Amino acid sequence: MTEVLVIGAGITGSACAWRLAEAGFSVTVVHEAPIGGEATGAGMGHLTVHEGEAGVWELALAGRSLWERWAEELEPDIEYHRIGTLWLIPDEQAFILARRLQERFRDCGFRTELLDPVELGRREPHLRPYWLGALYVPDDATVYAPRAAWRLLERARARRARLIRARVVALEPDGVRLAGGVCLKADYTVIAAGVQAVELLPDLPVRPRRGHLLVSERRPGLVRHALVSMSYSATVESRQQASWAFNVHPRPNGQLLIGSCREWDVWDRRPDPKWGAQLLQEACRYIPELATTNVLRSWTGLRAASRDGRPLIGPHPQEPCWIVATAQEGLGITMAPAVAELVWAYISAKEPPLDPSPYRLEGRLCPNPSQSASTAAL
């Protein structure tokens, strides 16, 4: 039987483990920290699609569609809620973008609706009447990602996947070496280690992109959908050191998650209250009632981002039995089921459900590892 090692039990590793165990592979997951404890636990869990570099749209689209099926399998406790996204339109230019986006969604069979300011005000009564309108995507959902990762792993273990709590310190041609010196053998090794993949493969063009998030006390009804400014995609593509956009959605218990910002190449996980202030300035401007709402907590997470903005999914050119799955940037939760499909296709040599070429590693590695994110900063 083909032996597969999966490094990392975030949403990506857990999804791969389940998919591969279902397909009958002998799977061993190796992870050190708590399940879903890194980016997966820090993220917003918004299952959505937006425009980006080549292939980003397609991967997110595939992931989002698969989530609808996965959610049924993994419910009830992953808190999958179809709250819908309102892409808020700040200006004329964004209006044109929203139109284009709507057409693109329509071509993919998504339901959408272009709301005028009056209709927007009806759906979100506490939103300040500032926007020219919104593009409504009713089937977008939110999910509680760390629990989803846990459930996926449980499912994988029910299919005889093994779980080993250890830190991988090196990749070998035929497996991995753990801290302490033990080696595990496998036919394939899936590197789903998030941003920490660069520790194992310094030639990966992966850099951390730190984000801050805040959570408020319960304010049921204050916000009803996932509210995201149309300027959000621009922050994702931004080359500037720091960028941010209005992004707020309710958790099922009525708490609000408030984001989101990006900083290139910051490894420090300690939250900086100044970022909280920045995000809240924006959020209070658009939801005035938020000003009197208590914020309970702030935290950070590190998105794994590639230099060219495309995820890195596929065999490593040097060792084809190392299958890399990282650099989903801010859409790794959404993309996870689709990433698992691609990984499964590589390992079983089957036809993938979508074109894998945008994500392949060939020609994208850093010849000189010191050019990639400085591992010294770890």
Ligand X SMILES: Cc1cc2nc3c(=O)[nH]c(=O)nc-3n(C[C@H](O)[C@H](O)[C@H](O)COP(=O)(O)OP(=O)(O)OC[C@H]3O[C@@H](n4cnc5c(N)ncnc54)[C@H](O)[C@@H]3O)c2cc1C
Give contact residues for another protein (rule: CB under 8 A): 33-37, 41, 146-147, 150, 215-217, 258, 270-274, 276-277, 280-281, 283-284, 290-299
Does 330 sit near ligand X (CB under 6 A)? yes
CA–CA gap between residue 378 and residue 372 (Å, rounded): 13
Among residues 171, 160, 146, the alpha carbon closest in space to that of 29 is found at 160
> CB-wise, 211 or 314, nearer to another protein?
211
Query: Does 194 sit near ligand X (CB under 6 A)?
Result: yes
Q: Choosing among another protein, ligand X, none, which partner's interface includes residue 243 (Cβ < 5 to 8 Å by kind)? A: none
- Which is closer to another protein, CB of 276 or CB of 311? 276
Closest residue to ligand X, Cβ-based? 332
What tokens does 65 get?
């569609």
Q: At how many degrees (to 10) do helices 332-348 and 11-22 cross?
A: 40
Least distance to another protein, CB of residue 255, Å: 9
Residue 290 contacts which entry, ligand X, another protein, none (Cβ below 5-8 A, type-dependent): another protein
Whether 95 and 132 have beta carbons less than 8 Å apart is answered as yes
Q: Which position among 208, 301, 314, 358 is part of the footprint of ligand X (CB under 6 A)?
A: 301
What the block records as the tokens of 80 is 């999958």
The answer to whether 354 contacts ligand X (rule: CB under 6 A) is: no
Q: Could you tell me the smallest distance in angstroms from the CB atom of residue 116 to ligand X? A: 27
**Closer residue to ligand X, CB minimum distance, 32 or 113:** 32
CA distance 132 to 138: 19
Who's near 93: CB < 8 A, 6+ residues apart?
Answer: none
Q: Which single residue is written with the structure tokens 């981002």?
A: 305
| List of residues 6+ apart from 260 with CB closer than 8 A | 44, 211, 212, 213, 232, 235, 244, 245, 247, 279, 330
Q: Print the binding letters for residues 200-229 with ligand X: x by CB under 6 A, - otherwise.
A: x----------x-x----------------
- 33 touching ligand X, by CB under 6 A: yes
Taking CB under 6 A as the criterion, which residues in 227-286 touch ligand X? 259-260
- Min dist CB 200 to ligand X, Å, is 6
Cα–Cα separations (whole angstroms), residue 85 to 20, 111, 113, 146, 233: 32, 11, 11, 21, 14
Give the nearer residue to ligand X in terms of CB position, either 30 or 61.
Answer: 30
Beta-bridge partners for 218: 255
Residue 79 is which amino acid?
Answer: E
Chosen from ligand X, another protein, none, partner binding at 371 (C-beta under 5 to 8 Å by type): none
Cα–Cα distance between 11 and 77 in angstroms, integer?
A: 15
| Residue 194, contacted partner among another protein, ligand X, none, CB below 5-8 A by kind | ligand X
Q: Residue 14: which of 31, 1, 26 has the closest Cα?
A: 31
- With CA atoms as reference, report the closest residue to 248 among 208, 210, 209, 289: 289
Provide the binding-site residues for ligand X, judged by CB under 6 A. Answer: 7-13, 30-33, 37-40, 42-46, 167-168, 192-194, 196, 200, 211, 213, 259-260, 301, 303, 326, 328, 330-334
